Amino acid sequence: MRIQMKQNDHINSLICNLRNKMAAFRFLVSLFLVCAFLFFPAILAATERFQIELYGGISFINPKDFNLFSQAEKHYNDIFFIEYLRSYDGYFVNEFPEMREVIPAGLRLRYHISEKFSFSLAAEGFTQTKEKTFEGSFGYSTTARENHTKRYDPYRLKVSAYSVMGGVHYRLPVGSKTDIEAAAAAGWSKANFKFSSNWSYETIYQATSISYQAVDGGVLEGEGSGHGFAAQASLRLNRMLGKRFGFFVETGYHYCRMNSLQGSGRETRIGIPGETTWEGTWGIKKEEIQTLWGDKTVSIPTNYWDFWTEAQHERDLVLDLSGFRLILGICFKF
């Protein structure tokens, strides 16, 4: 009988402990639900201080020194090909590609410190290639036939750049889901460029008693890189499509100029064994050319300075990627 009573007391004790634990568990759950109900909106509002943006668009640039690669080649053709053979029948377009626009894309993280102000950290970049293949011929035919053909297959320019910038933004609401925003940012940028000219020149002469064919050509390539300060000012329109998701349209000016560019170059020529290579600082070289129809001056981007005088060094090459831009992006708040 005593054993049975002890067993009953033990069972009752276990049941009591279990009830106490269940009561404590219910209390903790209730306390958690009350806290969540009271503080979750504040926590949610705090998390919405962060915003991530994905964007892309077009930037209108005019890198004058870099485009001298194409312009110098055009001037050489004017002097040594078109002017020389102007009395012949034929054509040569002589239009080389130039960098006039690039397509940047980027990622930006923002933190809203207040209803109107926020800070940001952005990383963006682009790679743009311009390439063209073309040829032209001049010739005449009387008692003999002579024909000159020049071909580029291809002529290519390439620029790549990326930037990391920190910014500050000011937001002015103009509606429940729409606002206008002004921003300024500054940081660091690194860029690389390449050019390649694969050209050939063929001369054919045919007469009654003689004929010959001569071929010249080669590949000239170069590349350079540098880094420098970057800055940006912009104005944009924001439109939220939901509580956390929206889009924006942005316009502004991006500043980015780099000098003291270093790089390598190489050239191969038909009939000359091997490859000539060199390295150096990129600059603009001035070349004076005397012809029967007048003196010409050509400004040439180069990092090959052997056999050239200091007086021919106009300046260092500047890679200017500055320009106005138009951007479209999407944003997520979290």
Q: Domain of 20?
A: 1-47
d(CA 19, CA 11): 12
Same domain membership, residue 4 and residue 59:
no
Min mean pLDDT across 92-106, 169-183, 245-259, 301-315 is at 301-315
Same domain membership, residue 132 and residue 187:
yes
pLDDT surpassing 80 at residue 291: no
Same domain membership, residue 103 and residue 20:
no
Confidence at 24, pLDDT banded by 50, 70, 90? very low
Same domain membership, residue 275 and residue 141:
yes
Same domain membership, residue 190 and residue 92:
yes
d(CA 210, CA 206): 6
Confidence at 19, pLDDT banded by 50, 70, 90? low
Q: What is the pLDDT of residue 30?
A: 52
- pLDDT (average), residues 127-148: 90
**SS3 assignment, position 85:** coil
Q: Are 163 and 256 in contact (CB under 8 A)?
A: yes
Same domain membership, residue 261 and residue 225:
yes
Number of domains making up the chain: 2
d(CA 41, CA 36): 8
Q: What is the pLDDT of residue 93?
A: 84
Paired tokens of 141: 């035919």
Residue scoring higher pLDDT (80 or 328): 328
Pick from 14, 29, 47: which residue ends a domain? Answer: 47
Q: Model pTM?
A: 0.81
* Per-residue model confidence as pLDDT tens digits over 151-189: 999 999 999 999 999 999 999 999 889 999 999 999 999
Q: What is the pLDDT of residue 47?
A: 58
Same domain membership, residue 106 and residue 32:
no
Fill in the amino acid letter for 180: I
Paired tokens of 41: 């909106």
d(CA 190, CA 226): 6
pLDDT surpassing 60 at residue 9: no
Min mean pLDDT across 215-219, 231-235, 308-312, 323-327 is at 308-312
As a whole number, the mean pLDDT across the chain is 87
Distance of CA 193 to the CA centre of its chain: 10
Percent of the chain with pLDDT over 70: 86
Same domain membership, residue 40 and residue 175:
no
- DSSP letter for each residue of 53-81: EEEEEEEEE--HHHHHHHHHHHHHHIIII
Same domain membership, residue 262 and residue 175:
yes
**SS3 assignment, position 103:** coil
* Per-residue model confidence as pLDDT tens digits over 40-97: 454 445 557 999 999 999 999 999 999 999 999 999 888 878 777 777 888 788 899 9
Same domain membership, residue 158 and residue 286:
yes
Same domain membership, residue 27 and residue 108:
no
Confidence at 212, pLDDT banded by 50, 70, 90? confident
Same domain membership, residue 81 and residue 34:
no
CATH of the domain at 183: 2.40.160.20
